[in-house]
């Protein structure tokens, strides 16, 4: 097929009688169908051409010319140009801009809205030109001169055109359009009904979710209050038992036999375990209730590690495990709640000691981008499977293993540590694999966002803030 030129002429005819108007409409529909325009769009294009042709005929005669044109970057178009007397353009802009349904030329204005392209202008010879266009399907083959001759030759002779048949065809198209419109209206009504029902369901769901959220909020408040009350009630007798055990071990009431001393030490250890659990519960309850108080203080990494050494040494019960602290960042200064930070590291270090039978536990710190400090507690213990790494941070959760069954714990330490890390503006990360050990990392900002300026020398050093 030859290359398509800018414009390929299909048909040209004069409009001097009413029959010519009917013929122009018929030609427009036939040509649109022949070049591949969809059926409904053929009807719209033909109706618009017929209405413009009627207006042009009433103004004193006209001519219509059909062509296929290629527009740069916009594909091929079927174009109809109706050239009318110069007077045809008079008041045409007012006709198009009028929204009065009683306007006798309202059909003309409507016709220009049902085609993809409409333009009205005055030609060099003074004629008024009405230009209407519709794009050819994107999938259509390029239209060439041979195609133009074939399409034009396939049109029926004008003499054989029956005005009554054309009117009937127009009526069928109108009825089909009305039926299609009614079906669309019914479908839209059905969809609107479905949408209203869905909206009602969504609103009911939102209401139910709000009720559930309120119930959960109340349940959380009850749980927090219960934990707080129970923790306070337990701390007093536990403290009393612990003090009595300490008096016995100090021989305040006389000497103890070796067996009695061992039993009292067991009592003391058990009470200390329960006291630690109570303290963890109380900490969690305070944080969840928003009543936790941070006490800010300037502390160095070296000071933190020194305190951890003193606490952790007694926990080591086997010479098969080596505990070491890296002092590369010992002079790094942090302005945060050092008690809370030490509590996190102590929990992580205690876990590492519990679950490492042999090998090494290494504690280190380093300054990172963003003015944060990363504390790593790395061990060569039993490790944690990927599927369990998030579970270990849940309340009262312990992973079943041979070593886990031999050690004691509440399952609150890691949950509390993550909560405290968030409170300090940081986070906890975990890298682990079964049999290859674990690395728990605490990343906190060097200066907490609630830190105030250092107090005057006569003021108390720590700063407090309730969070």
Do 444 and 353 fall into the same domain?
A: yes
Domain housing 241: 194-291
Residue 187 domain-assigned (yes or no): no
Residue 188 domain-assigned (yes or no): no
Residue 168 domain-assigned (yes or no): no
Number of domains in the chain: 3
Do 146 and 281 fall into the same domain?
A: no
Question: Looking at residue 211, which CATH number applies to its domain?
Answer: 1.10.287.130
Question: Looking at residue 56, which CATH number applies to its domain?
Answer: 3.30.565.10
Residue by residue, pLDDT tens for the chain (467 residues) are 334 446 888 888 888 888 888 888 888 888 888 888 888 788 888 888 988 888 888 877 789 999 998 877 778 899 999 998 877 666 666 666 656 555 656 667 777 888 888 888 888 888 889 999 999 887 767 788 888 888 877 776 655 555 556 656 665 666 566 666 677 777 888 888 888 888 888 888 888 888 888 888 787 777 777 766 766 677 778 777 778 878 888 887 778 888 888 888 888 777 777 777 777 777 776 776 666 778 888 999 999 999 888 888 777 777 888 999 988 888 999 999 888 899 899 889 988 888 888 899 999 999 998 889 999 999 998 888 888 888 888 876 666 665 554 555 556 788 888 989 998 999 999 999 888 899 999 999 999 887 764 454 444 555 665 55
3-state SS of the chain is: CCCCCCEEEEEEEEECCHHHHHHHHHHHHHHHHHCCCCHHHHHHHHHHHHHHHHHHHHCCCEEEEEEEEEECCCEEEEEEEEEECHHHHCCHHHHHHCCCCCCCCHHHHHHCCCCCEEEEEECCCCCEEEEEEEECCCCCCCCCHHHHHHHHHCCCCHHHCCHHHHHHHHHHHHHHHHHHHHHHHHHHHHHHHHHHHHHHHHHHHHHHHHHHHHHHHHHHHHHHHHHHHHHHHHHHHHHHHHHHHHHHHCCCCCCCCHHHHHHHHHHHHHHHHHHHHHHHHHHHHHHHCCCCEEEEEEEEHHHHHHHHHHHHHHHCCCCCEEEEECCCCCCCEEEECHHHHHHHHHHHHHHHHHCCCCEEEEEEEEEECCCEEEEEEEECCCCCCHHHCCHHHCCCCCCCCCCHHHCCCCCCHHHHHHHHHHHCCCEEEEEECCCCCEEEEEEEECECCCCCCCCCCCCCCCEEEEC
Out of 107, 141, 161, a domain closes at 161
Do 300 and 422 fall into the same domain?
A: yes
Do 35 and 46 fall into the same domain?
A: yes
Do 29 and 131 fall into the same domain?
A: yes
Do 237 and 350 fall into the same domain?
A: no
Do 259 and 146 fall into the same domain?
A: no
Do 155 and 280 fall into the same domain?
A: no
Residue 100 domain-assigned (yes or no): yes
Do 264 and 319 fall into the same domain?
A: no
Do 152 and 200 fall into the same domain?
A: no
């Amino acid at each position: 097929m030859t290359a398509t030129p800018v414009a390929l002429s299909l048909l040209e005819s004069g409009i001097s009688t009413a029959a010519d108007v009917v013929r122009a409409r018929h030609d427009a529909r036939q040509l649109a169908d022949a070049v591949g325009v969809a059926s409904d769009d053929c009807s719209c294009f033909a109706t618009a051409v017929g209405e413009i042709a009627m207006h042009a005929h009433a103004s004193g005669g006209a001519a219509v010319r059909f062509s296929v044109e290629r527009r740069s970057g916009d594909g091929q178009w079927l174009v109809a140009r109706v050239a009318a007397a110069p007077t045809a353009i008079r008041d045409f802009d007012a006709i198009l801009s009028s929204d009065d349904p009683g306007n006798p030329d309202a059909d003309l204005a409507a016709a220009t809205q049902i085609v993809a392209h409409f333009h009205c202008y005055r030609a060099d010879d003074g004629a008024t030109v009405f230009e209407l266009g519709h794009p050819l399907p994107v999938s259509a083959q390029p239209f060439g001169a041979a195609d133009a001759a074939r399409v034009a030759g396939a049109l029926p002779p004008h003499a054989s055109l029956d005005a009554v048949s054309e009117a009937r065809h127009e009526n069928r198209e109108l009825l089909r359009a009305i039926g299609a419109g009614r079906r669309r209206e019914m479908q839209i009504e059905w969809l609107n009904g479905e949408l209203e029902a869905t909206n009602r369901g969504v609103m009911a769901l939102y209401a139910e979710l709000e009720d559930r959220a309120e119930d959960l909020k109340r349940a959380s408040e009850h749980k927090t209050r219960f934990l707080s009350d129970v923790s306070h009630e337990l701390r007093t007798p536990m403290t009393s038992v612990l003090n009595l055990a300490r008096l016995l071990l100090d021989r305040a009431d006389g000497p103890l036999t070796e067996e009695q001393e061992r039993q009292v030490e067991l009592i003391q250890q058990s009470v200390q375990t329960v006291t630690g659990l109570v303290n963890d519960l109380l900490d969690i309850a305070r944080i969840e209730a928003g009543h936790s108080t941070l006490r800010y203080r300037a502390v160095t990494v070296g000071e933190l590690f020194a305190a951890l050494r003193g606490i952790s040494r007694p926990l080591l019960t086997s010479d098969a495990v080596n505990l070491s602290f890296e002092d590369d960042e010992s002079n790094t200064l942090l302005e945060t709640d050092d008690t809370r930070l030490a509590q996190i590291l102590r929990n992580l270090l205690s876990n590492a000691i519990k679950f490492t039978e042999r090998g090494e536990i290494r504690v280190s710190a380093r300054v990172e981008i963003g003015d944060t400090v990363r504390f790593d507690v790395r061990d060569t213990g039993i490790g944690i499977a990927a599927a369990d790494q998030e579970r270990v941070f849940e309340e009262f959760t312990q992973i079943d293993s041979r070593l886990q069954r031999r050690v004691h714990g509440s399952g609150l330490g890691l949950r509390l540590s993550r909560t405290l890390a968030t409170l300090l503006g940081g986070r906890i990360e975990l890298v682990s694999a079964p049999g290859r050990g674990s690395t728990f990392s605490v990343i906190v900002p060097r200066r907490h966002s609630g830190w105030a300026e250092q107090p005057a020398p006569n003021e108390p050093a720590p700063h407090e803030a309730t969070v």
